[in-house]
Amino acid sequence: MLLCAANPALAANKVSGFTLEKTEKNYRLSFKISPGQDFLEERREESWILRLPAAEGNISAPIQFPPKPGVLGPFKAGRDSLGLKLTFNWSYPIPTTVTREGDRLIVDFSRDYSLINRTPLAQGIMMEQLWFGSEKGPLAANVIRADLNSPGVRLVPTLAFENRFGLDTTSSIAKRNGAIAAVNGSFFHKNGQPAGLLVLDHKIVTGPLFNRSVLGLRQNEGFIDNTQLSLALTLADGQSAELEGINQPRQRGTVILYDHFFGASTKTSREESIEYLLAPQGTVMAVSGSNTPIPKEGYVLSASGAQRDWLASRLKVGESVRFKSLLNDYWEDVPYALGGGPTLIRDGKILVSSEAERFGADIALGKAPRTAVGITPYGELLLVVVDGRQPRHSVGMTLPELAKFLLEMGAKDAINLDGGGSSTVFASGMVVNRVSDGRERKVGNALLLYGLP
């Protein structure tokens, strides 16, 4: 705040004739001032203050804008050493302008506003920072637009750590991998294991969950759809069996295949369990009961219940087993994929599939910080992070509101990703949004964006 010395000649300045009104776009305060009256503005998180040095006025009680707007509370007048002081409490800071019109001072508080700041990050990559305000509360969003047809532009998912599950912040993951920009990725378990499909450089790291939506990434192309994973093992004698998954906790009566991404060991229980240590080509090197150490190269095949009995009678040390994994339809040649959900937009229409994809109320309902990816009809990718749970900064969005916002940003298809305290956007070497936890949360994976300066 800039303070100026009061002019003694203004000691008898009068302030009078207050009027309050609600216009189409503003809340407006107007009052009469003496010629040459100075004024000073002071913006605070909880209030806006207008000071009129050496002025006098008589306002005996708080005055409320009619009708009650919700954003602005009653304003109060008082005096301090500088002169008259008008204090306006607000639910959140909003744009304010002060102008003179003849002998009156006009103060306009924006009712509905939208502000945007654009920052080029690389060739074909643009970051848009948007702020909106209404009587429903403030919103702050970051949208990174990436043209996959521009030289060097590519988007890839990655785990928090290169060769194993774990947790780290989005900014640390981005810096360690030299990304220009990044957002947090999919939902994850407490050990960092993705809760859904993850494909890295054609390698299936984890399988799909509940037929939830998946973001697929090829060279110069992104797409959103559902997929199913078929897993099978074949023994030397030609007999085969289905596997229930890759790198996930084993349930009773199932067969799971583990590799180094899962961690140091399988973490399985001894109950009716058998595990095979496999060389990279599938040869059985050893047999154990449970919690087998996982080699950096090779696999562990784990079975329990009836599947344990079937394998124990057929697979011995020195014998070989072959595995076949198949993603249905056009997913077979997709080098990168990241599961998320629910779908928000399909073929240009809002379609929030929370129930079909078995998302609970903690994800599906209410306003929250959100992270999403959209794809425009021209193949441009939109990485979107909306701040939330901060009433004076951004209240967040429901999933239908997020879908509507993405549609307005130009998306024809869109998918929701992990949100809440995980929602983070990294660009220009720093976190550029306000994370809802007050500090950056560690996550299991992230989407990294690369490009040429």
Question: Domain boundaries in the chain?
Answer: 8-110, 117-226+332-450, 229-327
Query: 229-327 has which fold?
Result: Jelly Rolls (2.60.120)
Please report the pLDDT score of residue 61 as a whole number: 54
Give kind and range of the element (H or E) at residue 405.
helix 399-408
Please report the pLDDT score of residue 304 as a whole number: 92
Sign of dihedral through CA atoms 364, 366, 369, 371?
positive
CA-CA distance, 309 to 304, in Å (whole number)? 8
Please report the pLDDT score of residue 16 as a whole number: 83
Q: Which residues of 61-95 are buried (b: 16+ CB within 10 A; e: fewer)?
A: eeeebeeebebbbebebeeeebbbbbbbebbbbbe
Assign domain 8-110 one CATH number from 2.60.40.3500, 3.30.830.10, 1.10.3430.10, 3.40.50.280.
2.60.40.3500
**Which residues of the chain register pLDDT less than 70?**
1-12, 57-69
Please report the pLDDT score of residue 67 as a whole number: 52
Structure tokens given for 306: 């009836």
Instruction: Work out the number of other CB atoms within 10 angstroms of the CB of residue 183.
Output: 29
> How many residues are listed for the chain in this entry?
453
Instruction: Work out the number of other CB atoms within 10 angstroms of the CB of residue 242.
Output: 11
CA-CA distance, 13 to 351, in Å (whole number)? 61
Predicted confidence (pLDDT) per residue in 346-393, tens digit: 999 999 999 999 999 999 999 999 999 999 999 899 999 999 999 999
Please report the pLDDT score of residue 57 as a whole number: 66
Please report the pLDDT score of residue 82 as a whole number: 80
CA-CA distance, 130 to 128, in Å (whole number)? 6
Predicted confidence (pLDDT) per residue in 44-83, tens digit: 989 999 998 877 766 555 566 555 557 887 778 888 888 8
